[in-house]
Amino acid sequence: MKKNVVVYSLIPESLRAELAEQFNLTVVTQPNGDGRAALIEALRDAHGTIGVGVKFDEALLAHAPKLEVVAAGSAGVDSYDVDALTRHGVMLTNVPSAVTESTADVALTLMLCTARRAIEMSTLIREGKWEKSITPAQFGVDVHGKRLGIVGLGRIGTAVAKRGHHGFGMQVLYNANSRKPEQEASMGAQYRDLPALLAESDFVVLTVPLSDATKGLIGKAELAMMKPTGILINIARGPVVDETALIEALQARRIGGAGLDVFEHEPLPGTSPLASLSNVVALPHIGSATQETRDRMARDAASNLIEGLAGRRPTDLVNPEALDAA
């Protein structure tokens, strides 16, 4: 007998057809809005779910007594109540490897655009204000040969480090929960505690997951440790940075600039100074937003779902403790 699966966000039609051959699919649109009641009803008999954007917490799990697998089509799992899922014996899976290269590309995009003031300079042309040669007041700074400090040297951090070191001849400094001998050997990466990394780096790239330990990791005191020419790049999660402190530092020109793909509140309100400061390049959380990457994310999520519902351990299992609780 086929198991029941709830699909609550967009996946490629061909993949949906493949899943429909193995499971009874219920597709729910707007699961956090008008489709909330339909989601709750569908969860009553669901064995698995696949999608992005629904917070599975104790209240929602109370409506899902048969649930075995929640296949998240995202790398981050900070929007899921992992403890609640584990208590209910529900496996949570994610897709960490699918987003690595695209997200690292965005880090380099932000570094280059912020350092070379690309958006600001492009606006001159768009507004018809390029009337004479660029003056020193409009110069940017080089990226090649600079010190690249990476906070969190996991998959994405390592991909950023490779681009910086091998592509731009950058010296890589890193801060992580443990030493990374492979990266130290292959790229000459050097470990630093966080204050030293902030003080020495020309570019500081944040790639850590959001947790209680990393929330507000970069605040007023940490920003004060950076070079006055230093550029902060955040491709992690918005709450890793104290946004109020960052705005103050940028407005006072205590740091050189910031390249941001994530924010405390998303979408970023147009009234935020981050939307208009000339020393900020802001992107609408596009780290994984390519067709190729999103397709791979959906396929990896589906693979995890299939494995879990077949009684096998999924490749990307976030909470292995759920296997004992089940």
Report residue 257 CA to chain centroid gap: 20
Domain match, 266 and 210 both: yes
pLDDT attached to residue 258: 98
Segment 182-208, tens digit of pLDDT: 999 999 999 999 999 999 999 999 999
pLDDT attached to residue 255: 98
Domain match, 93 and 131 both: no
Segment 65-85, tens digit of pLDDT: 999 999 999 999 998 999 999
* Residue showing tokens 């949570």: 92
Domain match, 30 and 60 both: yes
The stretch 93-108 carries a mean pLDDT of 98
- Which one of 58, 182, 265, 266 is the catalytic residue? 266
Written in H, E and C, the secondary structure of 298-313 is: HHHHHHHHHHHHCCCC
112 CB neighbour count, 10 Å cutoff: 15
Domain match, 206 and 159 both: yes
Segment 252-276, tens digit of pLDDT: 999 999 999 999 999 999 999 999 9
Domain match, 176 and 302 both: no
Question: Is 265 marked active-site?
Answer: no
* Residue showing tokens 């009803």: 41
CATH of the domain at 133: 3.40.50.720
Question: Is 179 marked active-site?
Answer: no
pLDDT tops 80 at residue 326: no
The stretch 121-147 carries a mean pLDDT of 96
Domain match, 272 and 196 both: yes
What are phi and psi for residue 72, nearest 5 degrees? Answer: -80, 130
pLDDT tops 90 at residue 10: no
- Which one of 88, 237, 294, 296 is the catalytic residue? 237
Q: How far apart are CA 172 and CA 207, in angstroms?
A: 14
The stretch 308-324 carries a mean pLDDT of 97
Domain match, 32 and 109 both: no
Collapsed DSSP state (helix, strand, coil) of residue 165: helix
The stretch 126-131 carries a mean pLDDT of 96
Q: Are 217 and 189 in contact (CB under 8 A)?
A: no
Question: Above pLDDT 90, what percent of the chain?
Answer: 98
Domain match, 66 and 186 both: no
Q: How far apart are CA 239 and CA 232, in angstroms?
A: 14
pLDDT attached to residue 127: 96
Q: How far apart are CA 53 and CA 131, in angstroms?
A: 47
Domain match, 90 and 200 both: no
pLDDT tops 90 at residue 325: no
Segment 20-74, tens digit of pLDDT: 999 999 999 999 999 999 999 999 999 999 999 999 999 999 999 999 999 999 9
What predicted TM-score, i.e. pTM, was given to this entire model?
Answer: 0.95
Question: Is 18 marked active-site?
Answer: no
pLDDT tops 80 at residue 293: yes
- Which one of 117, 147, 285, 299 is the catalytic residue? 285
DSSP 170-198: PEEEEE-SS--HHHHHHH--EE--HHHHH
Number of domains in the chain: 2
Q: How far apart are CA 75 and CA 243, in angstroms?
A: 23
Domain match, 77 and 166 both: no
The CA radius of gyration of the chain, in Å to the nearest whole number, is 22
Q: Which two tokens stand for residue 172?
A: 């890589």
Domain match, 84 and 113 both: no
Query: Where in the sequence is the domain holding 169, given as residue range(s)?
Result: 100-282
Domain match, 49 and 162 both: no
pLDDT attached to residue 149: 99
Q: What is the mean pLDDT of the chain?
A: 97
Question: Which has the closest alpha carbon to 151: 56, 81, 74, 232?
Answer: 232
The stretch 129-157 carries a mean pLDDT of 97
